Amino acid sequence: AYRAWLTDAETDVVINFIIEMGDRGFPLSHRRLKEHVDMLCRSRLGDAFPEKGVGINWTYRFAMKYRDRLKLSDSRPLEDKRG
């Protein structure tokens, strides 16, 4: 836990944000999630946070670690759902 980029409270905020955006119909891609987490960490850590942000596989590992609270899925075009 001491090596994690996010604190427990920040992790809860990020998970709730992911769920809320999915419920609104705008699920986050891995790239968008990385951008939000980078912004959150940069605001708290400042120059101690790497310029490139979290690693390339960070979002995948985050989703796997919290798979009991998050679900990975692909979105479909609106026309498929209308039928």
Q: What is the pLDDT of residue 81?
A: 54
Angle at the Cα of 58 (from 67 to 75), degrees rounded to 5? 55
Q: Is 33 exposed, middle or buried (0-12, 13-18, 19+ CB in 10 A)?
A: buried
Give me the residue spans of the domains in the chain: 8-73
Confidence class for position 3, pLDDT limits 50, 70, 90: confident
Rounded CA gap, 27 and 1, in Å? 27
Rg from Cα positions in the chain? 14
Q: Determine the pLDDT at residue 76.
A: 60
DSSP-H helix ranges across the chain: 8-23, 30-45, 58-65, 78-82
pLDDT digits (tens, 9 = 90+) for 8-62: 999 999 999 999 998 888 888 889 999 999 999 999 999 989 999 999 899 999 9
